[in-house]
Structure 1
Amino acid sequence: MHYTVAETARKLNVSPHTLRFYSKEGLLPFVDRSEGGIRLFKEEDFSWLFIIDCLKKTGLSIKGIQQFIKWAMEGDTTIEQRLEMFKERQEAVEQQIKELQDALEVIKYKRWRYEISKEAGTTAIHDKMKPEDIPEDIRKIKEKIERLYHFTE
């Protein structure tokens, strides 16, 4: 069974423009075309589209995705290159997750500060708070922020 760009876009929850962009950038060499030039996607193309989307989400450039697809199309002689690329992607994503986790902690801390400030009607409430008045999880985040950035409020 074949799917049009619009049908494929609906199934994958992406825009038709995204699929056309991928095609224009050479990311879809595996997609068949009708005699009239219309792209016709097969079920097995969805796994390619899934990995393209995954690599894009990791921050890999279009050029990097093109290289991966080229290697994949070349076959088994490029297994080592593809493995190294996925090792690099894993390291990059793990670093992104760590950075986002750190940012989430700061957001949790600041949210707590503003919730307390809102209840008190002033941000000055924090000047009078003792460490034991701060919930333990928030206190740990506060201490980490102060330790890392030599920052106090």
Structure 2
Amino acid sequence: MDLTIGEVAKRSGLSVHALRFYEREGLFANPVRRLSNGRRIYHQEDLEWLAICTKLRSSGMSLAMIRQYIELVRQGPGNEHERLELLRRHEGHVEARIRELQGALDVMRHKVRVYEDHVVRGEADRLWNPSRPDAAAGEGAVR
């Protein structure tokens, strides 16, 4: 089933501009086909690849790494170990980023609890205020 760029944009959630960018950057698994009038034609496998590709991007995989991966895919069988190593390497980066974000979330949750407690008790003015040096006295980690 042939799909237009507008249909692919709607189904994938990507803009037409983003689809053209992905094509220019060589991020499609297969070359984008065109009609004799130059209009782009996509197929279901293009949508399936875009779903994977957008997850790789949202996980922080660089365009260069995606290009490297897709080039290995295009080469066909025989380089599965290289693909696996590339994916494992990125998996490690994603796991490290998740740990980093979890630490940030833990701090934010603590800060929210501290502020909620101070607001409920009517003591919000005791929270750290850089324009009032005396407000920080004795506050410690409450800031």
Shorter chain as normaliser: what TM range? 0.7 to 0.9
Q: 1:90 to 1:117 in 2, by over 3 A?
A: same
Match of 1:39 in 2: 40
Percent of paired sites with the same residue: 35
* Paired letter, 1:99: E
Deviations 1:122-151 (A, max 9, x none): 2438xxxxxxxxxxxxxxxxxxxxxxxxx7
Give, in whole Å, the separation in 1 of the partners of 2:59 and 2:19. Answer: 18
Superposed CA RMSD in Å reads: 1.6
For these two proteins, the number of residue pairs brought into alignment is 128
Give, in whole Å, the separation in 1 of the partners of 2:83 and 2:97. Answer: 21
Match of 2:112 in 1: 111
Give, in whole Å, the separation in 2 of the partners of 1:152 and 1:45. Answer: 51
Q: Offset of 1:52 from its aligned partner?
A: 1.1
Structure with the bigger percentage of helix: 1
- Please give the TM-score of this superposition, normalised by the length of structure 2: 0.82
Q: Which runs of 5+ in 1 are unaligned?
A: 126-150
Match of 2:15 in 1: 15
SS in 2 for 1:3: coil
- Please give the TM-score of this superposition, normalised by the length of structure 1: 0.77
Q: Offset of 1:29 from its aligned partner?
A: 5.4
Give, in whole Å, the separation in 1 of the partners of 2:94 and 2:102. Answer: 12
Match of 1:152 in 2: 141
Match of 1:28 in 2: 28
Q: Which runs of 5+ in 2 are unaligned?
A: 128-139
Give, in whole Å, the separation in 2 of the partners of 1:10 and 1:84. Answer: 33
Deviations 1:89-133 (A, max 9, x none): 1111111111111111111100011111111222438xxxxxxxx
Give, in whole Å, the separation in 1 of the partners of 2:35 and 2:110. Answer: 56
